[in-house]
Amino acid sequence: MQTRKIFQSIFFAIAIALALMTRAAHAQTATPDALPGRIVAQSGDAYIAHDPATQTWEIGTDAIRRRMSFSASGYRLLSWKNKLTNREWLTPGGGASAELRVVIEGQILTTASRDFALRDFTTRRNADGSLELRVSLARQSLVAHLHYVAHPGTSVVGKWVELENAGRTTLRNLDALDSISLDLRPSADPLTLHWVQGRIIRWHRVVGRVAIARAPRSRAHDVTRGLG
pLDDT tens per residue across span 109-137? 988 888 899 999 999 999 999 999 999 99
Q: Output the pLDDT for position 195.
A: 64
Q: Output the pLDDT for position 169.
A: 84
Of the candidates 183, 182, 181, 140, the one whose C-alpha atom is nearest the C-alpha of residue 163 is 140
- Given a cut of 70, the residues of the chain with pLDDT beneath it are 1-32, 93-96, 193-228
Whole-number Å distance between alpha carbons of 178 and 200: 14
Does the predicted TM-score (pTM) go above 0.95? Answer: no
| Beta-strand pair 101-104/174-178 | antiparallel
Q: Output the pLDDT for position 21.
A: 43
Q: Output the pLDDT for position 82.
A: 92
For residue 135, CA distances in Å to 57, 77, 146, 169, 226 come to: 9, 12, 5, 24, 32
Q: Output the pLDDT for position 181.
A: 76
Task: Find residue 98's DSSP bridge partners.
Answer: 76, 181
Q: Is residue 50 a contact partner of residue 121, using CB atoms and an 8 Å limit?
A: yes
Q: Output the pLDDT for position 179.
A: 81
Q: Is residue 8 a contact partner of residue 203, using CB atoms and an 8 Å limit?
A: no
Q: Output the pLDDT for position 190.
A: 74
